[in-house]
Structure 1
Amino acid sequence: MALSCGIIGLPTVGKTTLFNLLTKAGLETSGFMTGKTSTHTQLAQIPDERIDYLAQMYKPKKTTYATLEVTDVPGLVRGASQGMGSGNEFLAAVQEVDALIHVVRAFNNDNVLHVEGSINLLRDLETVNLELLFADLQLIEKRITRINQGKKKTKEHQLELSALEKLQVAFEEEKPLSQIELTDDEKQSLKHIRFLTEKPMILVVNVDEAQLTDKDYPQRQAVLDYAQEKGLPLLEVCLQAEVEIEELGPEDRAMFLEDLGIEEPGIKRIARTVYERLGLISFLTAGEDEVRAWTITKGLTAKQAAGKIHSDIERGFIRAETVSFNDLVQCGSMAKVKEKGLARLEGKDYIVQDGDIFNFRFNV
């Protein structure tokens, strides 16, 4: 199953705009709090300049980028963990995803109403994070009740109960999971529970063009400090400008980016950051038929990576002809790479590096 991320935040902060930019879904967006309760899920391509480069070199019949499943989650309001607003739909959706993109609004626009009546980034961040924490607290309370009502309590149940009660006390004090000390055994006993506050998260501050070029908006330093304290990647992006960038040709796009004072569209940075936050890397295959990025988790061996293409290749793995993408760029061609002795034959236990270009030798 593909790894996935959910876009969360209060209503009218730009979640659906971001979803459309990532997936090209074309969903309707609104500046009004419409009470939308449905979720939408679609695959998003991960922009990759290495694939662009290889496609230029090989002129393949097909070019395939890495993908990530993205879900546009209904807007959250205070009390969502108790089922308020679209709370039940929100919680059901975020339970299913592997990572979260939390969009918070900084942009000024009188035509786009704010659910709280004013823009306050720290307040909005805390509103969403507290609802996630309260949802986890409910999960803990239900699990404690289930264990206590069980007819048979094993050693494992006692260990889990001890860990859950620790979490319950901490969550009631609004402490995040990362600040709670658990033994290795206690952590193991909770492995089967998917806490919302444990999911990898990135913050996207949706700014307007003036804020983007000035690199300033109310509470900016406080928000940067908040992200650093929580260990969260933070990206400042003008999603409305990103919509306009998508509609421009290459030359106009380059000029617009220069006017905004940025080197590349923010949407590319968001996609890459989510990919990295999930601990994913890509290995590449290239030829006249297809240039392709293959998604794997960091730490896989060459043999395991081969299995991502086909189980037969993993089963009959002999060697992986390996070229580093950076070596290819420096040399300019595969022929030059081989001439300089930079092409390698790697065995089954070789740990795949991001950007490795593979040609697998196998026999079945």
Structure 2
Amino acid sequence: MKIGLIGLKQSGKTTIFNALTGQEAETGFGANKLQVNMGNVKVPDSRLDTLTEIFNPKRKVNATVEYVDVAGVEGEGSIDPALVNQIKVTDALLVVVRAFHDDGVFHPFNTVDPMRDLQNLMEEFIISDQVIVENRLKKLEKSVKSKKDPNEVKEYEALLKIKDALENLTPLREIDIDPVEMKMLRGFQFLTLKPVLVVFNTDEGDNGEEYLEKFKEEYGDKKGVKAVAISGKIEEEISRLEDEDKEMFMEEYGIKTLARDLIIRESYSLLGLISFFTVGEDECRAWTIKDGTNAQKAAGAIHSDIERGFIRAEVVHYNDFIQEKSLVKCKEKGLLRLEGKDYIVKDGDIINFRFNV
């Protein structure tokens, strides 16, 4: 999973990137539009920790999230194409919105107004997509008139459909796009097709309830958009502490969940992702797949050969396994079962794939 961090200049975006990744990336690097901060973060999963304790493998492998932090957006009507190219390959956007007050940190619009800034960014995403659509439509016009390529005719019709939506300021994630059209459009990596997790970057001690309530009123029924509130400055400080000190610090500030864990959890929910596990003496590992994935496709997350040569999946759910703490005992009690390729994998399944290539 790859998530792109984007926000207006001086929104505290890189501070939040540091809080998530534990890095010490330089803040305020927006003068260099091509500079990108990147960091991988292990997805915390207590179930994997417990499985590792039981099997005592040579190694434990968590699922990972890659964060891509790009330069700040000017907020002047359109996003720089260089920034678009950097974030269009991500699975989701983490949109950082300034909700903190600091006279020593300038604001592009001179005043702190989170909902105004969020609307500005959402509109800039739409404008960015419009530019891509219009440019492509111009290139297709000649071939469409000659009707030489039926696929290009279909693509042209699909682009006209989404052009109408964008002109009405409707993000593409909110309209119905059939699978055939989606296949044609996937390569464009439209920003408004991506799920969005809004992060209100608040003052120290502010739980962001006011902003979350306003967000709910404005975006509560919108598809593919969620919001959280954190204090990036405090979270960055916590990320640099030892584990024991972290607990004391969190208790002092009334923080129940680290920003890293909260944002990963909400990102999984937003993208409709789940985890399954493979276990053994060599390795215990968490794998990330889309909810609703069948067993054969899930096998492909491990290796394409396993998907291609899929025979059966030996499956026991974590909750059943943890009662016995033994695959042998689970098999004896009928908790371990054989499933075919069409079995829909559930979050927390422990799977051993049988295959032959």
Give the shorter-chain TM-score range.
0.7 to 0.9
The one of 18, 22, 26 aligned to 2:20: 22
TM-score (norm 2): 0.86
Q: 1:40 to 1:252 in 2, by over 3 A?
A: closer
Deviation at 1:7, TM superposition (A): 0.7
Asked if 1:119 corresponds to 2:115, the answer is: no
Asked if 1:221 corresponds to 2:225, the answer is: no
Q: Give runs of aligned pairs for residues 1-364 of structure 1, distance below 5 A.
A: 3-30=1-28, 34-37=30-33, 38-79=35-76, 81=78, 87-150=80-143, 152-153=146-147, 154-178=149-173, 190=185, 192-212=187-207, 215-217=208-210, 219-231=211-223, 232-334=225-327, 337-338=330-331, 340-363=333-356
Alpha-carbon separation, structure 1, partners of 2:306 and 2:174? 44
Unaligned runs of 5+ residues in structure 2 are none
Deviations 1:195-228 (A, max 9, x none): 211111111111123212xx544x5422232231
Q: Contact between 2:41 and 2:66, CA under 8 Å: does it hold in 1?
A: yes
Deviation at 1:161, TM superposition (A): 3.7
Query: Alignment partner of 1:101: what SS?
Result: strand
Query: Alignment partner of 1:291: what SS?
Result: strand
Alpha-carbon separation, structure 1, partners of 2:126 and 2:150? 28
Query: Alignment partner of 2:94: what SS?
Result: strand
Q: Contact between 1:322 and 1:345, CA under 8 Å: does it hold in 2?
A: yes
Deviation at 1:103, TM superposition (A): 0.9
The one-letter amino acid of 2:32's match is K
Q: 1:104 to 1:160 in 2, by over 3 A?
A: same
Q: 1:26 to 1:302 in 2, by over 3 A?
A: same
Would you say how many aligned residue pairs link Structure 1 and Structure 2? 353
Q: 1:95 to 1:312 in 2, by over 3 A?
A: closer
Q: Contact between 1:137 and 1:168, CA under 8 Å: does it hold in 2?
A: yes
Deviations 1:49-74 (A, max 9, x none): 21222222233221111123321121
Alpha-carbon separation, structure 1, partners of 2:340 and 2:177? 39
Query: Alignment partner of 2:220: what SS?
Result: helix
Q: 1:250 to 1:207 in 2, by over 3 A?
A: same
Alpha-carbon separation, structure 1, partners of 2:285 and 2:333? 25
Q: Contact between 2:30 and 2:71, CA under 8 Å: does it hold in 1?
A: no
Q: Contact between 2:8 and 2:75, CA under 8 Å: does it hold in 1?
A: no
Alpha-carbon separation, structure 2, partners of 1:183 and 1:329? 41
TM-score (norm 1): 0.85
Deviation at 1:101, TM superposition (A): 0.8
Deviation at 1:276, TM superposition (A): 3.3
The one-letter amino acid of 2:320's match is D
Greater shift in the superposed pair: 282-291 or 306-315: 306-315
Greater shift in the superposed pair: 184-193 or 346-355: 184-193
Query: Alignment partner of 1:292: what SS?
Result: strand
Q: 1:183 to 1:99 in 2, by over 3 A?
A: closer
Q: 1:259 to 1:173 in 2, by over 3 A?
A: same
Identity rate, percent: 42
Q: Contact between 2:315 and 2:350, CA under 8 Å: does it hold in 1?
A: yes
Deviations 1:234-257 (A, max 9, x none): 111222222232233444333333
Deviation at 1:25, TM superposition (A): 3.6
Q: Contact between 1:19 and 1:72, CA under 8 Å: does it hold in 2?
A: yes
Deviation at 1:337, TM superposition (A): 3.7
Unaligned runs of 5+ residues in structure 1 are none
Query: Alignment partner of 2:221: what SS?
Result: helix
Query: Alignment partner of 1:230: what SS?
Result: coil
The one-letter amino acid of 2:3's match is C
Deviation at 1:94, TM superposition (A): 2.2
Alpha-carbon separation, structure 2, partners of 1:6 and 1:303? 30
Greater shift in the superposed pair: 339-348 or 112-121: 339-348
Deviation at 1:166, TM superposition (A): 4.4
Deviations 1:113-143 (A, max 9, x none): 2222111011100111111111111112112
Deviation at 1:188, TM superposition (A): 6.5
Query: Alignment partner of 1:197: what SS?
Result: helix
The one-letter amino acid of 1:246's match is S
